[in-house]
Amino acid sequence: MPTALHQSHPAVVLQDLTFSWPDGATPIAGVSGAFSRGRTGLVGLNGAGKSTLLRLVAGRLRPTSGSVSVSGVADYLPQHLTLDVDATVADLLGVRDVVDAVRAITDGDVPADRLEPLFDVVGDGWDAEERAVAALDAAGLPSSDGVLDRRVATLSGGETVLTAVTGIRLRGADVALLDEPTNNLDGDARERLHEIVRTWRGALVVVSHDRALLELVDATAELRTGGLTTFGGPYSAYEEWLRGQQEAARQALRDAEQVLQRERRERIKVAERIAHSERRGRKDVVERRYVKAAINDRRNSAEKAQAARRGQAADKESAARAAVREAGRAVRDDDSITVDLPDPDVPSSRRLAVLRGTDGRDVVLAGPERVALTGPNGVGKTTLLEMLVAPPDRPDGGRPDGAGSGARAEALTERVGYLPQRLDVLDDDRTVLDAVRDGAPHVAPGDLRHWLARFLVRGDQVDRPVATLSGGERFRVTLARLLLAEPPAQLLVLDEPTNNLDLASTDQLVQALAAYRGGLLVVSHDRAFLDRIGLDAELRLTGDGVLRRGVLRRGPVAGP
């Protein structure tokens, strides 16, 4: 058993929890378990129901059956934070009503008959504005005068998420629930969020595939079909424990299979001995070696003994088969995408692309070179990537508004494969099969279905409209179409490829990229992912459009 956090008063208790959507899909089925009062990282495969579970704990969804018990109040940060651009920082922090009430009272222009309701709103929050500004400052966020009245539209994506997390902390919820909070955050914002999590006091459950963040928690919980497993340690320790458990489970399965084979052979031997005895008995009758009464007695006795031996042999084989089934249940056969990248045969001298900063300096990508393009949110990294695949008659580089930092990019090969962050290259009105065939018209439909199955798109999913796909499904279909291109791409351009992948599928992508022999240009804020793909260079794009060589941190190629 994993190292459990035995606490007499856990923060969240799940009892036989089940939730079904109106269409009958059941992402959560009979889950029981508990989250401690510390920091817990919640992991699981795509589609395991992690986001649904957080919404159930937060009270945003009602269980179909079973129960959720929370010690106190739960506060929730959704994965896709959608905010009204006209909302203010005070709205994000959840102090708008109190701040407005305090300001109205202190301004002294409120009619007497309206004072009492305002006092009720304020309660003990007379210093709400000061505490909110102090919380922003502590989180490294803008905290100048009037900051609470800034519109969310003026914040970067990282500032928006960090402000929302700061609001959860400020409101003092007993249980905080964060769903993929580091998605799309740049390196600086990630580090600040990591520090917030590291210093969190109280119960925190965070869903994430950010390995660095998962090392900051006190416990790891994995949600998978059949239940919730809780381990007292960070994700790396849980991985190590799980590898040991799985090796023991596989050995137990091998042992059970050997016993089954032995019992099957023994049953066959018993059957052969019985058959031999029956043949000898028939021969005795023919040769009249014994009187008829003695023959009948011998026959009856033999039939009873043979039936007993058959039954014992069958029971032993049946028990061995049941043991194999039981041992097999402990061995994981998790679905993860299987990616085999083609060899585009790119010589080291082949120039694939050139990037030019506003200072006039060129950076040339040549041969099977692996380059990461990094920089803060909003400096134009995606715009620069889109220039590599923009039609030649689009001088703005593919962006109708010409947005960007002023840096330019030009592809020097026609064989560029692009995986956009927005995943908007598929026609929503086409079926999945037709959308992939558009990019690979010479591949037979049967082969396409086989290929899509390796990306976990199977059965009826292949015939569904693209518009019905989830974010993870859309990513896998887009990646499948990209990798089916013929001839294969000489330069792969990936924009935040791990945002919609679970940890197991990220591992598969890392291993596939390790074997790819073409050029690679990738934008990612996932430092652990970049460290694992064997980079040759890192370029950092500044706000004024200059490309600077970054400090390359070499990590292991492939592997978990």
- Kindly list the domain boundaries of the chain, sorted by start residue: 12-87+151-233, 242-329, 351-549
Q: Say whether the peptide bond before residue 488 is cis (omega within 30 degrees of 0).
A: no
* Averaged pLDDT, 172-200: 88
Token pair 């031999």: residue: 276
Whether the bond into 368 is cis, omega within 30 of 0: no
State the pLDDT confidence band at 397, using cuts at 50, 70 and 90: very low
**pLDDT above 90: percentage of residues in the chain:** 30
Rounded to whole angstroms, how far apart are CA atoms 524 and 377? 11
d(CA 131, CA 128): 5
**CA of 57: how far to CAs of 35, 40, 273, 275, in Å?**
11, 14, 63, 64
Rounded Cα distance, 139 and 196, in Å: 7
Which H or E run includes 281? helix 235-287
Instruction: Report which secondary-structure segment, H or E, holds 322.
Output: helix 292-329
Q: Which two tokens stand for residue 433?
A: 């099969």
pLDDT at residue 555 is higher than 70: no
Domain 12-87+151-233: state its class: alpha beta
Distance separating alpha carbons of residues 372 and 381, to the nearest angstrom: 11
Q: Give CA–CA dist 181/158, Å, rounded.
A: 10
Q: Decide if pLDDT at 184 tops 80.
A: no
pLDDT in tens, 99-121: 888 888 888 777 777 788 888 88
pLDDT digits (tens, 9 = 90+) for 309-326: 888 888 888 888 898 888
pTM (whole model) above 0.75: no
Model pLDDT for residues 275-285, shown as the tens digit of each residue: 777 676 666 65
Residue from 434, 425, 380 nearest 405 by CA:
380
pLDDT digits over 434-485, tens only? 998 888 888 888 888 988 888 888 888 899 898 877 666 787 888 888 877 7
CATH topology of domain 351-549: Rossmann fold (3.40.50)
Which among 519, 520, 510 has a CA at the least distance from the CA of 555? 510
- The pLDDT of residue 337 is 67
Least confident of 11-15, 252-256, 263-267, 387-391: 387-391
Q: Give percent helix, percent strand, percent coil of the chain, each to the nearest 5.
A: 45, 20, 40
How high is the pLDDT of residue 363?
Answer: 92
The stretch 172-179 carries a mean pLDDT of 92
Band (7; pLDDT cuts 50, 70, 90): low
Measured CA to CA, the distance from residue 442 to residue 36 in angstroms comes to 54
Q: Give the integer Cα–Cα distance in Å for 450 and 50.
A: 28
From the list 485, 522, 550, 489, the residue with the least C-alpha distance to 370 is: 522
pLDDT of amino acid 297: 58
| Res. 395: pLDDT tops 60 | no
Percentage of the chain exceeding pLDDT 70: 86
Place of tokens 């001298």: 349
Least confident of 21-30, 149-158, 271-280: 271-280
Residue 153 has what DSSP assignment? Answer: G
Helices (H), 440-516: 445-453, 471-483, 503-515
Side by side, the strands of the sheet bearing 28-35 are 28-35, 12-19, 65-70
Residue 225: pLDDT over 80: no
- Separation of alpha carbons 560 and 557, rounded Å: 9
Mean pLDDT over the full length of the chain: 83
Cβ atoms of 476 and 456 within 8 Å: the answer is: yes
* Residue 117 Cα distances to 98, 107, 125, angstroms: 11, 16, 14
pLDDT of residue 260: 87
- Which of 336, 371, 330 lies closest to 530 in space, CA to CA? 371
